[in-house]
Amino acid sequence: MENILEIRNVSKKFVSKKKEILAVDNITFNVKYNEFLSIVGPSGCGKSTLLRMIAGLEKPTSGEILMEGRRIEGPGAERGLVFQQYTLLPWRNVLDNVAFGLEIRGMPKKERYEIAKRFIKMIGLEGFEEAYPYELSGGMQQRVAIARTLANDPKIVLMDEPFGALDTQTRTILQHELLRIWEKEKKTVIFVTHSVDEAIYLSDRVIVMTARPGRIKDIIPIDLERPRKRDTLEFIEYRRRIVNILKDEVLKSYNMYNYSKDV
């Protein structure tokens, strides 16, 4: 079997008292083992919803998601999610936040702290083991959340704009680290980002979604050797292509499609 994940005709409709919102509309794609897949699309197009459905936190209204041939019915440690929001447990320090998944698995303290410290070092927060979330900046909290998910060693890593709050420098370092772990540990990564650059730099394939209701507009395989250089002609050509596809959709989400020629 070469697909770790199969998303089949998945739709998600949110129903509230006043209205219905079709967030994800009939999406189908497969994810291969050890693939690095990015998703880009206008704000509000259903990217987070899609990740949450793969994580098992949200049930598709129709369609199904299979992991290794089995239907996903709920959340599980084999699918780790780095949330878009801040989600550190405020009463735990950095070390115990990062070690949380290992702790509930019953791993002895010494062992799990050892692993946690390795990941804290990786995200550049050595020395902050004892700090509490309220003592950290937004970007630092985001990094701790990344370490927490990676330390838990999931087969599929779902990341929802994980580097959103970081400066370019830190972002570059973490992209590098993420690729290293992905290659070494043969992980499958689904990565949501607003940065086309980042998507091209990291991914085997980039999925471009339409404005809400989110459908797949295009899937672009990135055939570039790693490590990639952001200033090669091919890279720039990929960027131009994806930005163009994306532009229409972003404008559409503003109901400004007719003006697109001017913008």
Partner 1 sequence: MDIKKVIMPIVGLVLWELLAIWLNNPVVLPPVENVIKILINPQITLLGTGTLVENTLVSIKRVLSGFIVAGVVGIPLGIFMGYFSTVMDLFDTVIELLRPIPPLAWVPLALAWFGIGETSMLFIIFIGAFFPILLNTIAGVKGVPKILIETAQTLGAREKDILLKVVIPASSPNILTGLRIGAGIAWMCVVAAEMLPGSSAGLGYLIMYAYSLSRMDVVVASMVIIGIIGLTLDRGLRYIEDRYFRWRYLIK
Residue numbers at the binding site for partner 1 (CB under 8 A): 55-57, 74-77, 79-81, 83, 85-87, 89-91, 100-101, 103-105, 132-134, 138, 141, 148-149, 152
Q: How far is the CB of 98 from Mg ion (least distance, A)?
A: 23
Residue reference for tokens 């079709």: 22
Question: Among 11, 48, 152, 193, which residue sits at the site for Mg ion (rule: CB under 5 A)?
Answer: 48
**175 near ligand ATP (CB under 6 A):** no
Q: Give the chain's end-to-end CA distance (angstroms, integer).
A: 46
* Burial degree of 253 (CB within 10 A; 0-12, 13-18, 19+): middle
Binds 46, which of partner 1, ligand ATP, Mg ion, none (CB < 5 to 8 A, cut-off by type)?
Answer: ligand ATP
Cα separation values, 61 from 13, 41, 56, 214, Å: 6, 21, 13, 14
- Show the site string, 81-100: x = touches Mg ion by CB under 5 A, - = not: ---x----------------
Cβ(11)–Cβ(215) under 8 Å? Answer: no
H/E run at residue 4:
strand 3-15
Q: Pick what 210 binds: ligand ATP, partner 1, Mg ion, none; C-beta below 5 to 8 Å, kind-dependent.
A: none
Closest-CA residue to 197 (of 173, 223, 170, 229): 229
Angle between helix axes 168-184 and 138-151 (nearest 10 degrees) is 0
> Closer to ligand ATP at the Cβ: 79 or 212?
212
Q: Cα(115)–Cα(38) distance, rounded to whole angstroms?
A: 27
CA separation, residue 96 to residues 115, 146, 239 (Å): 11, 14, 40
The residue among 100 and 119 lying less far from partner 1, judged by its C-beta, is: 100
For β-strands 205-209 and 3-15, DSSP reports them as: unpaired
Give which of ligand ATP, Mg ion, partner 1, none residue 23 binds (C-beta under 5 to 8 Å, depending on kind).
Answer: ligand ATP
Angle at 160 between CA 38 and CA 69, to 5 degrees: 65
> Which lies closer to partner 1 via its Cβ, residue 77 or residue 219?
77
Query: Exactly one of 38, 49, 97, 188 binds ligand ATP (CB under 6 A); which one?
Result: 49
Q: Which is nearer to partner 1, 69 or 90 (CB)?
A: 90
Q: Which is nearer to Mg ion, 48 or 175 (CB)?
A: 48
Among Mg ion, ligand ATP, partner 1, none, partner that 76 touches (CB below 5 to 8 angstroms by kind): partner 1
Residues that bind ligand ATP (CB under 6 A): 14, 21, 23, 41, 43-49, 84, 212
Residues that bind Mg ion (CB under 5 A): 48, 84
